[in-house]
Amino acid sequence: MSDEQTAAPTNGRRISQRGIATRERILEAANRLMLVRGVNATTLDDIREASQTSKSQLYHHFADKQELVRALVRYRGALVLQRERGGLERLRSFSGLVRWRNALVQANSLNNGKYGCGLGSMALELSDQDEQARSSLSETFAAWERLISDGLHRMRDSGLLRQDADPEKLATGLMAALQGGYLLANAAHDVAPMEVALDMALEHIKSFLVQPAPRPTSHTVGDQAAKML
């Protein structure tokens, strides 16, 4: 398909392949800027300059800042869920949870804990401003949480977690610890609070692990034999 041929409709409009690339460039620029500066402090002119697009190009794809922000919520949510599926869709063990925790902490340490969670920071700014954006963010958080609870369900079904473990509640607690950890790490510019929050949540999950029966030692076997005589 050439640049001039039309592609799938976006926001009710059919756009060319070149237009799709331009729209993606605008969203990528908005994502970078709003992660660092926040939604309210980033202007359309900032995004236009960073994406190297004209006003006519920007307004062709987004009627106003609200429409752009709503698209960015979906864009950023898709990126986060794509990343999280890589670490959580195959989750079947507690060591898998630890690896997931380590990956998130390591990634956040690259910025010394600054900026927090891209979704969480948008939720803080937008929840009282835009109901549609809030609803979209809520759906993304719920999907993220389901990835965790599905992994905990697999652990329980395989006998690694006790049957009285509640995967949904444990997933909610872990997500709350993660988001709170992001917030505290952002305030401190240090990932240490994030590590503490996640480790405490993981310790709670660990308390539901089924402990394997201890292997008998030769001394134990000798004692059992003596009792049988």
The strand pairing partners of 64, in sequence order, are none
Confidence of residue 30 (pLDDT cuts 50, 70, 90): very high
pLDDT exceeds cutoff 50 at 197:
yes
Predicted local distance difference test score (pLDDT) of residue 69:
97
Confidence of residue 16 (pLDDT cuts 50, 70, 90): confident
Cβ contacts of 160-165, under 8 Å, gap ≥ 24? 160/92, 160/93, 160/94, 160/209, 160/210, 161/205, 161/208, 161/209, 161/210, 162/208, 162/209, 162/210, 164/208, 165/205, 165/208
- Rounded to the nearest 10°, the torsion over CA 47, 78, 144, 182 is -20
C-alpha distance from residue 61 to each of 11, 23, 202, 211 (Å) = 9, 6, 43, 56
Q: What CA–CA distance (Å, rounded) separates 141 from 118?
A: 12
pLDDT exceeds cutoff 50 at 178:
yes
Residue 191 is classified by DSSP as S
Tokens encoding 86: 């890589």
pLDDT exceeds cutoff 70 at 91:
yes
- pLDDT tens track for 32-61: 999 999 999 999 999 999 999 999 999 999
Confidence of residue 19 (pLDDT cuts 50, 70, 90): confident
At 14 the three-state DSSP class reads: strand
pLDDT exceeds cutoff 90 at 216:
no
Stated pTM of the model = 0.83
